[in-house]
Structures are given as C-alpha cells and as structure tokens.
Amino acid sequence: MTRLEAVLWDMDGTLLDSEKIWDIAVRELAVELGRPMSDEIRHALIGASGPNALRIMFNGLGLDPTPAALTEAGHWLERRVTELFHGPIPWRPGAKDALAAVRAAGIPMALVTNTKRSLTEYGLDTLGREFFDVSVCGDEVAHGKPDPAVYLRAAELLGVRAENAVAIEDSPTGALAAEAAGCALLVIPCEISVPEAPGRVFRETLVGLTVPELHGLLLERRAS
C-alpha cells in the first residue's frame, strides 16, 4: 500500500498571503523603470523564479533585459521586498492549522519555494521553522519552478521518493514543477486561476484539510 512519506509546501500564495506584498514591490519597480505594468504582465510573474520573473517583466515592459539592467532591478526588488517582509506576513486561510495537523501526524514536511533564501527567511519567521524538516529555495538549485529541481531536492533531503509525496501549490508554475517531479498535487489557487488537468486536485482553501485527505490524494493518483 502506498504510504504518504512527505508533504511539500509552496510558500507565497499557498501558506502566506504574500503575493500581495510582491504585487506592491513589482508594480513599484515598474514605475521605477518608467513603464506601467498591466495586470497581464503581473499575472505572468506569479510563481516564477526571480531571474525568470525579471526577464518576463522586462520583455513585457518592452525593456532591454541586459545582464546589468536585470542585476540592478533584482537588487532594487530585493531591497523593497525585504522592507515589506519585515514584521508578520498574513497567513492564507487554514494554512496554520493544516501545518499543525501534518506535523502532529509525524509526516515530514518541506518548504519548497521559488523565493530566494534571504527573503524566505522572513517567511519562516512568520511560519515557524519548527514545522519544516527542510526548506529549498529558488536560488539553491540550477533552475527554479517550473523546473522540478526544487521538489526533487526537497525529496532528496528528506530521504523520500517524490512520487510518495504530496505537493501543495497555488500557481500554474508551481503545479508544473510538482507534476514534473512526480508528486501528487493539491492546488489552492490564490491570485490567479490554475488550469484543470488530469491528476490535479483542487480546493478553495486549506481550511479543514486533514491528513487522511492527503493520504487519499496519493492513493487516488496511484489508482488513476
């Protein structure tokens, strides 16, 4: 019988309502760069790794993505997000109770995020490091989501098989990464919709999520 070996959590938009903080920062960066940002461009950034997000942003704004320009923009964005991340970050509905339920069941957990380590540490200040056995950030692998590397690395650090883990995501980019790694997938959309696809199970929020439900996701994926 398939056993649930780990739960792998995305951070921004899944556990923390931090996409709204990123929204402030990236829109301010667009103003700093002298170009207005459309909602279409903003939505394309959600879930992307830092380097990919900046390239998407520059291309969408019609700016030349030179290495120097991208580096300068990245530094500006990190400084601004750091300012905004100081202090408690709002939780997504049900997230804290869901973390506590999985931890009480003794199931290993990892935080798996495209956010770079320096900023993820602020998220962990709010979430509580005691919930996670490991954390893997976008700047700690060769390629961030939608590449599966962050999920595969988290599974490796936990000593589990990715196909025996459930990943919980809110974005199309994160969903693709989890699927490519072989994880069972629970999607909790936040700022943007996530397309339906075979194997994707959706919930409106994490409110009331139970460990048996997570076990069921894994069994359902194996049976399909």
Q: Looking at the annotation, which residues are catalytic? A: 10
Q: Which helix (H) or strand (E) covers residue 126, if one does?
A: helix 117-127
Q: Which helix (H) or strand (E) covers residue 218, if one does?
A: helix 211-223
Only one residue has tokens 């459930």, namely 166
- In sequence order, what are the residues at sequence separation of 6 or more whose Cβ sits closer than 8 angstroms to the Cβ of residue 17? 89, 90, 91, 92, 190
- In sequence order, what are the residues at sequence separation of 6 or more whose Cβ sits closer than 8 angstroms to the Cβ of residue 35? 61, 62, 63
Give CA–CA dist 7/14, Å, rounded.
13
Which residue stretches of the chain are H helix?
Answer: 19-32, 39-45, 50-61, 67-85, 95-104, 117-127, 149-158, 172-181, 211-223
Only one residue has tokens 């992307």, namely 48
Secondary-structure percent of the chain, ordered helix, strand, coil, rounded to 5: 50, 10, 35
Retrieve residue 69's tokens: 């320009």
